[in-house]
Structure 1
Amino acid sequence: MKIQSLFNLDPNIKVRTRFAPSPTGYLHVGGARTALYSWLYAKHNNGEFVLRIEDTDLERSTPEATQAILESMEWLNLRWEHGPFYQTKRFERYNQVIDQMLEQGLAYRCYCSKERLENLRNEQESRKEKPRYDRACLKHCHEDPTKPHVVRFKNPQTGSVVFEDAVRGRIEISNSELDDLIIRRSDNSPTYNFCVVIDDWDMGITHVVRGEDHINNTPRQINILKALNAPVPTYAHVSMILGDDGQKLSKRHGAVSVMQYRDEGYLPEALLNYLVRLGWGHGDQEIFSIEEMIKLFELEQVSKSASAFNTEKLLWLNHHYIRTLPADYVAKHLAWHYQNQGVNTSNGPALAEIVTMLAERCKTLKEMAETSRYFFEDFDNFDESAVKKHFKITAIEALCKVKEKLTAVSSWNLQNTHQAIEDTAKELGLGMGKVGMPLRVAVTGVGQSPSMDVTLVGIGRERVLARIQKAIDFIQSQNA
């Protein structure tokens, strides 16, 4: 049987992996980890990475989910050399192979009704037998392609399927445990397990990295590949990710889709670093750059055990990357959050300056954007607890005096604004906090911010002076 490839297979490429999500929902963290492991293995071996969209479930697949998957992969920067390929655009190819298999006796038409199959199953279960098709249509062949039928793969009846899983070691399944798989439905549409086999064959996939829930599919797919005289890939089945309570990861554990983590203010580097450690490690090292992951990653080092997701650990990693990645790069991701919150950042400090000012304080970019809006827009209200603590009647004198000093500043810079605050405290015989804290609340609306000189310069002279006057008026009105 002629092998038909989607692209010219480079004979120099020894490793080609794939990620093949079904677009029936968003890309969740388990899928993202599988994609990462597959991508890393290809990169580690100077190979190629293929993206395939397995959209044969026509009822549940949606364009929105497909777009969300592509967006997630791009945000994570898991770039592919080939694809995305869509199974729904390859039905002609699948059916071509099925027709050839029928001609060669590798598959057969089955005309059994649902009622007959249900009765057969019930009888087998009553005898405590494993339900499987009895090959009635193979034994009593009445071929008539015009009548409603499905096509079944003629699975071997004896022997076993043995494969060496890169993660789990040797796995053996007896052929007597396997059914004659339906490879084409009565509506002429090929089934998932068959499409996967032909795709992996056509696309030259050498290593299949996927979740452990696919282990039962693997012997069926291997048998089809062998029937077609096609090369059998190396399989690696990774364990599931659990919540910190030991239960299967779900929405009750927090964000589960990749883009939710973007929305919550995580950097892709933090999520990738966290995901790679959910089942793989290198000594006691916790922090890995992408380059280190590529250099060190091996499938054989992936754990067979399930991993528990720990949001606190992810948050710690995110804070590390906010603090250590170049401010200009972090600022590009931060810009999305301002935009998402409806903040116009055109009138204020450069976003890289915001990152430098707030990196130590903020563990997420969402928090950073939320707590720094005062640099770009005015606020209507002062924080109640800050008002109660720092806006006493005695604060009016300090605010009036510091406003006077700041108004007289010739050049609006860190040194001069700091000097104005210091001179105010000295003239009034007050500690710096008695001037700085009312001033902080006046110009930011809250009780926490970067150092006052940095904050004042970032906000700008006109807005600072206007906000101080607003605070003075507020305190006076509160004490009238």
Structure 2
Amino acid sequence: MSAVSRFAPSPTGFLHIGGARTALFSYLVAKRLGGKFLLRIEDTDRERSTQEAVDAIFEGMAWLGLKSDFAPVYQTQRFDRYKEVIAQMLSDGTAYYCYATREELDAMRAEQQARKEKPRYDGRWRPEIGKILPTPPEGVPPVVRFRNPVEGEVVLDDLIKGPISFANIELDDLIIARADGVPTYNFCVVVDDLDMGITHVIRGDDHVNNTPRQINILLALGAQLPKYAHVSMILGADGAKLSKRHGALGVMEYRAMGFMPEALLNYLVRLGWSHGDQELFTRDEMQALFDLSKVSSSPARFDMEKAYWVNHQYLKIADPAVVAVEFEWHLRRMGVDPANGPALVDVILSQRERCRTLLEMAEKSHFLYAELSGYNDKDAAKHFNDEGLRVLAGLYQALKALPEWTVPALHEAVNHFAESQGLGLGKVAQPIRVAVVGMAVSPPIDQTLSLLGRDRTLARLDAAVAWARSRAPG
């Protein structure tokens, strides 16, 4: 049987970074084994599940490129199937009706706690040979409980954590359908995994205690068990529980911060997994090399500075045409029309060495697509002095006379002008930067002027001179 894995989030909030890592691990396992990956929306919690959260999950998964091989499955659309399985289990004797009221159960647990016992269902409605059950009370809708084995143990050979055992006597009879007929989480998961042929269940280690209960239900249904892998939690760089200050953000917030989806995936795959000393992986390499047996059972630590480093490496080596898709998204968010300026690929090639994120790149490239709103006060005061204005006025004439507007031609013109005036290149380049960019930071000046274009460059040089003279004393 080919491998089938799944990512099964509850739509009660955005797709957070821990969920994205789990989705990635599930996706990579399926792809490495030549199998299928599916997305299942576990929305049985009707009070907390929202369409907004569902949309956020889809948006995050699409941005990361973690595509389901099947149409997404919604648990709320499968209630008839759950009821069918529960009816069969009641008929087989692997499930039973329980009429215990909430008040009875509260009193039962209070008595157990008073005896310093572990609170658990005492099986008062569990059918046994020779046991006489009470008469069902009128007006009390029953829940349905799974008849969990009381002998032996469940041994889980976790693909990450190794063997884990659970004594059946410690697992009480789980409610699989509430009094209103709505099936419960642990039951729905089992039926879904069975019906969808799931061979690998990869999820957070907060689900470890659910696993023996789910295994017992699967065994009661005569199912072949999937392989389980429970991924340890992600901590902050300081070892504390991951929070927003560490980077526990929604996936789409990372897009807004300027991350490439491939870079974020690369960083996430290294949170708990390694392949020698390799730090950067293409998607194909991840799919070929990822192995659950190499995933650490210890919590991973999220280091935002390392995430920025990975993103910067991607920006420097990625196909500029691929980067351009995300770069355009950031420019448009800033109200910039990318058609009103140089080709995005050319800008990316000029900026990517000095920008760690696409947001930074968009901010530093804004001047290429929109008119200047002013000048940095400190830079203008420093470079729009008498010498700076002479440079701008003289260079205006030199650049205006250029027969072609290319990087080599601009490089030669600026250097020739600096030499003719007996000035260092910095004395010439910095006033130009402030005049055409608004600040004294930009790519190399010849690249900057080439990207900006002849008309905008000359207009901005002229405007800068006029602006500075209008503010000169006297």
TM-score range, shorter chain: over 0.9
Larger mean Cα displacement after TM superposition, 220-229 or 249-258: 249-258
What amino acid is the match of 2:211? T
Question: Could you say which residue in structure 2 is the equivalent of 1:477?
Answer: 470
Length, aligned pairs only? 468
What amino acid is the match of 2:283? I
- Shift, 1:270, TM fit: 1.1
Does the 8 Å CA contact 1:121/1:131 hold for their aligned counterparts? Answer: yes
What amino acid is the match of 1:229? G
- Shift, 1:388, TM fit: 2.5
SS at match of 2:372: coil
Does the 8 Å CA contact 1:255/1:261 hold for their aligned counterparts? Answer: no
Task: Tell me if 1:322 matches 2:315.
Answer: yes
Question: Could you say which residue in structure 1 is the equivalent of 2:7?
Answer: 19
Query: What TM-score comes out, normalization by structure 2 length?
Result: 0.96
Question: Could you say which residue in structure 2 is the equivalent of 1:405?
Answer: 398
Question: Could you say which residue in structure 2 is the equivalent of 1:371?
Answer: 364
Unaligned runs of 5+ in 1: 1-12
Take 2:31 and 2:370, find their aligned partners in 1: how far apart are those partners? 45
Q: Alpha-carbon deviations, 1:401-460, whole Å to 9, x = none?
A: 111111222222223323332333233232222221101110110111111121112111
Runs of 4+ in 1 over 4 A off after TM superposition: 143-147
Take 1:316 and 1:292, find their aligned partners in 2: how far apart are those partners? 19
> Among 89, 106, 111, which residue is 2:94 paired with?
106
Question: Could you say which residue in structure 1 is the equivalent of 2:234?
Answer: 241
Question: Could you say which residue in structure 2 is the equivalent of 1:178?
Answer: 171
Task: Tell me if 1:93 matches 2:56.
Answer: no
Q: Alpha-carbon deviations, 1:47-101, whole Å to 9, x = none?
A: 1111101011111111111111111111111112123100000011001110111
SS at match of 2:386: coil
Structure 1 residues 283, 145: CA separation in 2 closer, same or farther (over 3 Å shift)? Answer: farther
Does the 8 Å CA contact 2:187/2:214 hold for their aligned counterparts? Answer: yes
Q: Equivalences for 1:189-200 in 2 at 5 Å?
A: 189-200=182-193
- Shift, 1:294, TM fit: 1.3
What amino acid is the match of 1:220? R
- Shift, 1:180, TM fit: 0.7
Unaligned runs of 5+ in 2: 128-132
Q: Equivalences for 1:32-47 in 2 at 5 Å?
A: 32-47=20-35
Question: Could you say which residue in structure 1 is the equivalent of 2:162?
Answer: 169
Task: Tell me if 1:428 matches 2:417.
Answer: no
Larger mean Cα displacement after TM superposition, 187-196 or 242-251: 242-251
> Among 103, 108, 111, which residue is 1:123 paired with?
111
What amino acid is the match of 1:323? K
Q: Alpha-carbon deviations, 1:169-219, whole Å to 9, x = none?
A: 111101111111010011111000000000000000011001100000000
> Among 41, 57, 69, which residue is 1:81 paired with?
69
- Shift, 1:146, TM fit: 7.2
What amino acid is the match of 1:40? L
Larger mean Cα displacement after TM superposition, 85-94 or 138-147: 138-147
Query: What TM-score comes out, normalization by structure 1 length?
Result: 0.95
Question: Could you say which residue in structure 1 is the equivalent of 2:266?
Answer: 273
Does the 8 Å CA contact 2:242/2:248 hold for their aligned counterparts? Answer: no
Task: Tell me if 1:209 matches 2:197.
Answer: no
Question: Could you say which residue in structure 1 is the equivalent of 2:443?
Answer: 450
Question: Could you say which residue in structure 2 is the equivalent of 1:394?
Answer: 387
- Shift, 1:145, TM fit: 9.7
Question: Could you say which residue in structure 1 is the equivalent of 2:373?
Answer: 380
SS at match of 1:349: coil
Question: Could you say which residue in structure 1 is the equivalent of 2:46?
Answer: 58
Question: Could you say which residue in structure 1 is the equivalent of 2:130?
Answer: none
Q: Alpha-carbon deviations, 1:329-350, whole Å to 9, x = none?
A: 1111111100111111112111
What amino acid is the match of 1:370? E
Question: Could you say which residue in structure 2 is the equivalent of 1:311?
Answer: 304
Question: Could you say which residue in structure 1 is the equivalent of 2:340?
Answer: 347
> Among 132, 136, 147, which residue is 2:120 paired with?
132
SS at match of 1:138: coil
